[in-house]
Copies of this chain bind each other. A is one copy, B any other.
Amino acid sequence: MSLLVVGSVAYDSVETPEERREDALGGSATYFSICSSYFTTVSVVAVVGEDFRREDIELLEACRIDTAGLERRPGKTFRWSGVYGTEDVKTRETLDTQLNVFAHFSPALNQQHRKHRYLFLGNIDPELQMQVLEQMERRPTLVALDTMNYWIEGKQDALTRVVKSVDVMFVDEGEARTFAGQANIVRAARHILSLGPTTVIIKRGEHGALVFQEDFVFAAPAFPLERVVDPTGAGDSFAGGFMGYLAGTGDLGHEGLRRAAALGSVMGSFAVEGFSTDTLSSLNRQEIEARLQSLAQLSRFQPLSANESLPWRGGQ
């Protein structure tokens, strides 16, 4: 089924212990749409400036992403710059954020977009997320949102309203604790479920992700990588793999959710292996399937069979 993503398209300047890259293609809608495009048809709604490069449009279109909703406005494209720590690649510091044309982003969906059955509300102002949802012709089959501490702290009420209207919420551990006012992550997830979403996904970076429903938990491992080049976009890539699989199969049962989260983890692992979308944008089916199979091997162990017991007290 068709998938719509609304979010940011940006130019990121990223410094890691090993390299520095200026004005590389980034943004939540970019990572999400590229990752999901492998598994389903995707349309992106976002805003870019006059400086947005033709080659970046072409990159999205080569992924068969519908860019009719990529609005070009006078001014510059949203820019973010940050540096990742030497000790632990997860610690990142934002050096600069220039909203530019993104400051006045007001997502307008065309007639086709309004019919999409799967919707991902990327990390933008929760009031805009709600406006997007309200533009849909009818309630989509599945609506997911992502957010960040900036909105949790600054727009808790608006965010809570939109959370109550979606099916799936993506949050990292710290965000879940802050939003729910609960240090324990299971209770934080349960609190979010009590607001309305059927599914909460707690992203844990290199430690994988937890998928919670009322009577269901799945722990997706992260693929252990010997080289993390650029962690930017890992969360949106996870969401792209997850939503892309669900939209591509329509399987919203537990088995589908497990696979979707595993595929999210796979896409997140590809994302961080290259700067920007370098690795992500040129994958093939064999590479993705092979890593999914490796991930299944990584976390597989034999449960006890029906007539099997643990060794006990040294046989005493």
Contacts and interface: CB of A to CB of B under 8 A. Distances in A.
A282 interface: no
B217 A313 contact: no
Interface stretch (A7-15, A97-105, A231-239, A254-262): A254-262
A303 interface: yes
Closest CB pairs A-B (n = 4): A248-B311, A41-B314, A296-B303, A258-B301
Nearest to A190: B226
A305 to B, nearest CB: 10
A197 to B, nearest CB: 17
Interface of A: 2, 17, 37-41, 64, 86-89, 177, 183-187, 190, 204, 206-208, 210, 217-222, 224-228, 245, 248-249, 255, 258-259, 261-263, 285, 288-289, 292-293, 296-304, 309-314, 316
Contacts of A310: 38-39, 245, 248, 263, 285, 288-289, 292
B86 A183 contact: yes
Contacts of A190: 226
Contact of A41 (B88, B218, B316): B316
A39 B226 contact: no
Contacts of A204: 207
Given A184-B226, A186-B225, A224-B210, A312 B88 contact: no
Contacts of A220: 299, 301
B64 A313 contact: yes
A314 to B, nearest CB: 4
A301 B186 contact: no
A183 B224 contact: no
Nearest to A300: B258
Output the residue of A41, A177, A221, A298 with the most chain B CB within 10 A. Answer: A221
Contacts of A87: 177, 183
Nearest to A204: B207
A208 B204 CA distance: 12
A39 B314 CA distance: 6
A213 B143 CA distance: 41
A261 B300 CA distance: 11
Given A225-B186, A293-B304, A314 B210 contact: no
Contact of A206 (B185, B225, B316): B185
A87 to B, nearest CB: 6
